[in-house]
Amino acid sequence: MTLREAIERFRAYDAEHRSSHETSLALLRNYFASDTRLADISASAMRDFLSRWYVQTACSSNLDDSVPDTHELLDSLTEFCRWADEQSDHIPFEQLSTLLIELRHRLPRAIELTGELSRWLRQSRGAFSFPEFLTSFEEGGHSQYDIDTPGAPGAVEGHFRIKRVQGSLVEAEDILSEERLWPILFPAEAASLLDDEYIINLELVRDSEGWRIVGCGFAYPPGTEL
């Protein structure tokens, strides 16, 4: 059975709650090709759909009417996967169910963390706008925010995996180089949302107190492949 066929049958089966599932199933169709077979929807593919693609879509849209909130999405996917499991022996329902349960806490927290960091940066933009930093580094120079340590970079950008949180001080590991940075100075509201292994796209500069956040992208739940 293809995903397209399964969704049409599920909509007919659960017509009473059809409207509540529409946006969630539309997102599922947008990510997977309609001719994808249910057997090919693995737990790893579903994790990528939810932990990466949905996070980026939801945070970019501010959860407008075309994007369901996390609880609505996970409820609809749970119902759909349970129904699909009754129709086919090929869908890995136990693995998908475990994943959906895991993300009930982690997925909304990643979205909240993205929003909290973005709001904080907007409010702090006057204190953390660095045109002279950007210019000096394009020219291979240094800025007033560097720690004067020979051979040490004054700025980094990348995806960082959270490894340790002590109040507002955070240790994180660059997922490509595996280099650990400490301490990264987080706003208290964002630090309170952090758990180990969350992944955040950050732009950082060093000063005498540690690493300061001057830009951010999306935050992702633990286990996300980027």
Q: Is the pLDDT of residue 142 over 60?
A: no
Lowest-confidence region among 23-37, 83-97, 138-152 = 138-152
Question: What is the rounded distance in angstroms from the CA atom of residue 174 to the CA atom of residue 217?
Answer: 14
Q: Is the pLDDT of residue 48 over 70?
A: yes
Residue with tokens 């007919």: 12
Domains and CATH numbers, the chain: 3-115 (no CATH), 124-220 (2.40.50)
Please state the rounded mean pLDDT for residues 180-197: 94
Please state the rounded mean pLDDT for residues 164-186: 96
Q: How far is CA 64 from CA 50, 75, 105, 188, in A?
A: 17, 18, 21, 28
- pLDDT value at residue 74: 96
- pLDDT value at residue 195: 85
Q: What is the reported pTM?
A: 0.83
Return the higher-pLDDT residue of 113 and 135.
113
- pLDDT value at residue 138: 40
Q: Is the pLDDT of residue 105 over 80?
A: yes
- pLDDT value at residue 92: 81
pLDDT tens track for 2-44 = 889 989 898 888 766 667 788 899 999 999 987 898 888 899 9
- pLDDT value at residue 145: 41
- pLDDT value at residue 143: 40
- pLDDT value at residue 182: 96
- pLDDT value at residue 80: 92
Q: Is the pLDDT of residue 172 over 90?
A: yes
**Residues composing the chain:** 226
Lowest-confidence region among 30-39, 42-51, 134-143, 165-174 = 134-143
Q: How far is CA 18 from CA 51, 80, 162, 169, 192, in A?
A: 25, 11, 39, 46, 37
- pLDDT value at residue 129: 42
Q: Calculate the average pLDDT of the chain.
A: 84
Q: Which helix (H) or strand (E) holds 90?
A: none
